[in-house]
Amino acid sequence: MTPPRRRAADGAVPVGYHDPVARQAGTTHAGIVLAAGSGTRVGNSRNKVYLPLAGRRIVTWSLELFRRIPGVGRLVLVVRDADRELAAEILDRELPGVAVDLVTGGETRHESEYRALLHLADEIRDGEIDVVLVHDAARPLAPVKIVEEVLGTAIRTGSAIPALPLDDVVGVDEAGRMSDAGRTDLVRVQTPQAFKSGPLLTAYQAAAVDGFTGTDTAACVERYEGVPVQVVSGDPRNIKVTYADDLFTAELILATSGYEL
Ligand code: CTP
Ligand code: MG
């Protein structure tokens, strides 16, 4: 079934981010929001991304975030078939007039991403989409600054992921003793992750041939493109809603940030 196409909103709100190269070349960037999980660990009968957070549904926060980034002219929301009607209803109510393509996801996050990329494949091959941002709807609090940073870095280097240092990790040797030998710095990875669209699509097509399933977008790109993925600073407020408690934390973060991230 062809996904419904919604009308485009006029103009994004300027946030100090400029991408003259893409604009001159007549290309745009795409924002993919992944919402095709089932949200089992939150424990609600409904998929967590449709629960309310500070007056709007969780999924709306991420779409609204991308909508505010100049240069992001294409939005895709990946949903389960069972949630499609609810998702469409929420978009109509909370983002009226914003163009969002609904795409049916797959069994895994990786498969959901692949389906979104296949949906954009023609535009990617035609050079109409420069960078693709992939974001978990389960992270409704990603600040604008992170999107600008990953997007700007991906335009320059080909890829970027936000991450936070893991400062409570130690190495342990075979004898069970603390050891820093051979240690490399570990980080905790967040989304949105940004990649040049061509290599990203190629990586996912290669993964499909192999039957490889990555834990996140960067894992797949690194494996098949063989180029290092650039890490930029994440934000501790950019939490993932996984358990019910995270909903309270998210409300608190928003309240203390004045509902502006
Ligand atoms: N996701 C997806 N398609 C899947 C699985 C996950 O689009 N088949 C999305 C989720 O909707 C979420 C993100 O990937 O936005 C991260 O996944 P996670 O936090 O694990 O969400 P769920 O899989 O929905 O939750 P749970 O693991 O608790 O069931
Ligand atoms: Mg999951």
Which of these ranges, 22-31, 80-89, 236-245, has the smallest mean pLDDT? 22-31
Which of these ranges, 21-25, 55-59, 237-241, has the smallest mean pLDDT? 21-25
- Ligand 1, closest atom to CA 137? 15
pTM over 0.75: yes
Report which of residues 67 and 181 the model is more confident about. 67
- Ligand 1, closest atom to CA 139? 15
Using the mean position of ligand 2's atoms as its centre, give its distance from the Cα of residue 261 in Å: 25
Q: Which of 34, 114, 204 should be mutated for ligand 1, with most atoms under 8 A from CB?
A: 34
Using the mean position of ligand 1's atoms as its centre, give its distance from the Cα of residue 220 in Å: 17
At 52-104, the pLDDT tens digits run 999 999 999 999 999 999 999 999 999 999 999 999 999 999 999 999 999 99
| pLDDT the model gives residue 7 | 37
Residue nearest ligand 1's atom 16 by CA: 136
Read off the pLDDT of each residue in 201-221 and give the average, rounded to a whole number: 93
- Ligand 1, closest atom to CA 113? 7
User: Does any ligand 1 atom lie closer than 6 A to the CB of residue 69?
Assistant: no
Q: How much is the mean pLDDT over the chain?
A: 90
What DSSP assignment string belongs to the chain?
Answer: -PPPPPPPPS-PPP-S---HHHHHTT-EEEEEEE--S--GGG--SS-GGGSEETTEEHHHHHHHHHHTSTTEEEEEEEE-GGGHHHHHHHHHHHSTT---EEEE--SSHHHHHHHHHHHHHHHHHTT-EEEEEEEETT-TT--HHHHHHHHHHHHHHSEEEEEEE-TT---B-TTS-B--TT----EEE-S-EEEEHHHHHHHHHHHHHHT---SSHHHHHHHHH-SPPPEEE--TT-----SHHHHHHHHHHHHHTTT--
